[in-house]
Amino acid sequence: RKDVGILAMDIYFPPTSVQQEELEAYDGASKGKYTIGLGQDCMAFCTELEDVISMSLTVITSLLEKYQIDPKQIGRLEVGSETVIDKSKSIKTWLMQIFEECGNTDVEGVDSTNACYGGTAALFNCVNWVESSSWDGRYGVVVCTDSAVYAEGPARPTGGAGAIAMLIGPNAPISFESKYRGTHMTHVYDFYKPNLASEYPVVDGKLSQTCYLMALDSCYKHFCSKYEKFEGKQFSISDADYFVFHSPYNKLVQKSFARLYFNDFLRSASSVEKDGREKLEPFSTLTGDESYQNRELEKTSQQVAKHLYDEKVQPSTLLPKQIGNMYTASIYAAFASLLHNKHSTLVNQRVVMFSYGSGLSSTMFSFKLQEGQHPFSLSNIAAVLNVSEKLKARHVFTPEKFVETLKLMEHRYGAKDFVTSKDTSLLSPGTFYLTNVDHMYRRYYVKK
């Protein structure tokens, strides 16, 4: 099987959002903290009408319709999510409604969970299935769906919500270069959800940033050494056209790319020019641990890598800045932003992806891009994603309304016996929404 990878994509995010500039003022944070400090513009969130199940019903239905795929042609459906609605019943089983209706119950796959990494695990499962002897010739579908909400405090502006669906098969315009993968997995308490009665995580913000950067270094090291083994030459930033990162907030993405540049400097890679070498020289003797805490290094490396960041990273930052952290969907929404911005010039280019999930699990992997054939072409995927229109169609809520919504959702989490609002005016036609949860906790959804 040749060129197994992503044939088609679609994205859905709630139409309800809050502006970071307004939230900043409402929270009493200093001006610029969320917009410049964290690098975020806007944040999407679910009202009582939507959740991870409704968003994934919406995005899969849309994917199948827009690319005219018969649900019978799907042989595997994998879900990545860290938003727990039921401790036993997988999100995948709710999604089976779409396939059952068409007489297709022969669909493998369940949910994968580990913080923001579940989507990547789901994607690897699907790709491995298509490459394996158990593949039956049909397509795989991967859905990443999450609603990221935090308790009041510094983490709250780093929430977000959305779902991404990807169709997997051979001869894909976005294919995996599987032999170069680099993985780093360890046991840490940086971000976790031990309180089963609450949707909010327990988070050690500073530790989670350091864990993210350490994981990045380790994955990059493994990725480079595999590349070198197969290609017989050193890998550096100049061997990839774009770098796409899991994006909890944009500032961390800026720091991450600078960190890759610093790695290249330490490895004496040709990607680092004279100016960069001179400015980074004073930091060359820091130990690994010291280097994560050194603010001067952070600033200097961001500054010397800035021109490369603008070229290789910036085009993938649109949706994560506008929607916020979509957890499992975040890295794929970043990739969707790249397709949106650059689809006409991506042929034969290499995109390096870095997926991180707290706890922790992380992998660096890469895609090779081709134009592909309609409907599975880069230009058609960009048209279906329809990013500009979807962003324009959003409604901005006041911070008061946002906080009120989160309060209501706190009560609704794990609750039974309630009906949701009848006002669905903000949802566009084709959107699934929750109508009620009955006395047996059974959830009911309809399509607008």
| Positions marked catalytic | 82, 116, 246
Distance from C-alpha of 383 to C-alpha of 224, rounded to nearest angstrom: 34
User: What pairing do the DSSP bridges indicate for beta strands 74-80 and 139-148?
Assistant: parallel
Contact call for residue 209 and ligand ACO (CB under 6 A)? yes
> Applying CB under 6 A, does 235 fall inside the site for ligand ACO?
no
Q: Is 58 in the site for ligand ACO (CB under 6 A)?
A: no
- Tell whether 255 is in a known binding site: yes
Would you say 332 and 119 are in contact if contact means Cβ atoms under 8 Å apart?
Answer: yes
Is 33 annotated to bind a ligand? Reply is no
Closest Cα to residue 159, out of 107, 82, 271, 237? 82
The reply on whether position 212 binds ligand ACO by CB under 6 A is: yes
315-334: contacts with ligand ACO (CB under 6 A): 325
Which of 178, 198, 205, 226: binder of ligand ACO (CB under 6 A)?
205
Q: How far is the CB of 281 from ligand ACO (least distance, A)?
A: 22
| Residue 142 φ then ψ, to 5° | -115, 130
Contact between 381 and ligand ACO (CB under 6 A)? no
**CA angle (249 as vertex; 248, 254 as ends), nearest 5:** 110
Exactly one of 158, 250, 263, 328 binds ligand ACO (CB under 6 A); which one? 158
- At a CB cut-off of 8 Å and minimum separation 6, what does 177 contact? 350, 365, 366, 367, 368
Residue the block writes with tokens 């020289």: 281
Q: Does 337 bind ligand ACO (CB under 6 A)?
A: no
Within 238-297, the residues that bind ligand ACO by CB under 6 A are 248, 251-252
Q: Which stretch binds ligand ACO (CB under 6 A): 25-33, 74-82, 237-245, 437-445?
A: 25-33
Say whether 251 counts as a known binding-site residue. yes
Binding piece for ligand ACO, criterion CB under 6 A, among 202-210, 221-229, 408-416, 433-441: 202-210
Binding to ligand ACO by residue 147, rule CB under 6 A? no
Contact residues for 290 (Cβ-Cβ < 8 A; gap 6+):
none
Which helix (H) or strand (E) segment holds residue 208: the answer is helix 205-231
**Helix 250-266 with 205-231: angle, nearest 10 deg:** 40
- Binding positions are 208, 251, 255
Site residues for ligand ACO per CB under 6 A: 30-33, 36-38, 116, 154-155, 158, 191, 203, 205-206, 208-209, 212, 248, 251-252, 325, 358
